[in-house]
Amino acid sequence: MSSLAVTWGVTHRTLQLVARLPSTIVPSLVMPVVLTVAFAGAFSGLVLLPGHPADKAIDWFLPLYTIQGAAFAGVRVGIAVARDLTTGFYDRLLLSPASRVSLLAGSLLASPLLSVLSFILLVVIAGLGGASFKAGPAGIVMLGVASFSMALAAGAWSVGLALRFKTQQIAPLMQTTVFLASFLSSAQMPLNLLDGWLHTVAVINPMTNVFALARQGFLGSVNWHDTWPGLVSLAGLTVFFCLFAYRSMQKVTP
């Protein structure tokens, strides 16, 4: 069996496993939609603040929850791997002649694929909710790049944790870290309207650049100034967490 076939086999199985467990698919699919609608509605007055770059709250909050939904798709994959490790299925995979890189790649590939559904759903919701789409398809492409890359990075982080701890009880750590990484940035408010400790943290948090990349098409035109820091941050996060997952895979023993 070729390495590619092994990778696809693991990806396919992970997608099937997550799809068969509504308790895992619902949070990654339904919650971003609910949160987008709730935040865009509840904080509709926030854009009245002088200096806020959005015309409508949905333009500000939709990219946030699209990216968070994608990141949580990665977390779901991590939980699925932790489940396989708990039940012993992963031990059988490790004892097979398949290369470990192929096994890891299979799990990691499942994260962005899993996030496709919530991405499509949220773009449709954005259309129905009157989002601006000021940059047209280019803005949606930027949102897609940010979402799928975040799914991969969060998936690598979660799978790495699962491989290190070999228990489903590590799930809250996966979720909390992803949540905190998002919110300790310009997630809720633009950088120029943040003060104090949160402003300091947001400036150094690479997620601020990721949100700028994802939001630019909703706030104005797609430009290089907002694009390159986001791409560099995403590349850094993805490489760092994939290496973390790879190191965790090397250490795991059946």
Partner 1 sequence: MNTAAAAAAQYLALSRRAMFGTLRKPTSFVPSLLFPLMFLALTSSSLERSISIEGFPEVDSFLQFAVATAVIQGVIFGSISAGSGMAEDIEGGFFERLIASPVARTSILAGRLAGTAALGFCQAWIYFAVTSIFGLSVEGGLAGMLAVAIVAAALAAGVGSISVALAIKTGSAEATEGSFPLFFALLFLSSAYFPRSLMEGWFKAAATLNPMSYLLESLRSIVVAELSALNFFTALGIALGVLVVGLAVASALLKRRLAMDA
Distance CA 87, CA 165 (A): 14
Q: Binding to partner 1 (CB under 8 A): which residues in 152-181?
A: 172, 180
> Based on CB atoms, which residue is closest to partner 1, 111 or 182?
182
Q: Does 38 bind partner 1 (CB under 8 A)?
A: yes
Neighbour-count burial for 79-94, b at 16+ CB within 10 Å, e otherwise: bbbbbbbeeeebeebe
List 196, 204, 225, 253, residue binding partner 1 (CB under 8 A): 196
Q: Which of the ranges 43-51, 87-95, 146-154, 227-235 carries the binding residues for partner 1, by CB under 8 A? A: 43-51
Which 3-state string (H, E, C) describes 168-181? Answer: HHHHHHHHHHHHHH
- Which one, of 40, 80, 67, lies nearest residue 161 by Cα? 80
- Which one, of 43, 70, 38, 69, lies nearest residue 57 by Cα? 43
> Based on CB atoms, which residue is closest to partner 1, 142 or 178?
178
- Which one, of 161, 126, 129, 160, lies nearest residue 144 by Cα? 126
Q: Which of the ranges 5-13, 71-79, 148-156, 192-200 carries the binding residues for partner 1, by CB under 8 A? A: 192-200
Q: Does 43 bind partner 1 (CB under 8 A)?
A: yes
Q: Which of the ranges 46-54, 61-69, 119-127, 226-234 carries the binding residues for partner 1, by CB under 8 A? A: 46-54
- Which one, of 67, 73, 42, 81, lies nearest residue 160 by Cα? 81
- Which one, of 179, 181, 159, 183, lies nearest residue 170 by Cα? 159
Q: Does 120 bind partner 1 (CB under 8 A)?
A: no
List 2, 20, 45, 253, residue binding partner 1 (CB under 8 A): 45
Provide the binding-site residues for partner 1, judged by CB under 8 A: 23, 26, 30-31, 34-35, 38, 41-46, 48-49, 172, 180, 183-184, 187-189, 193-198
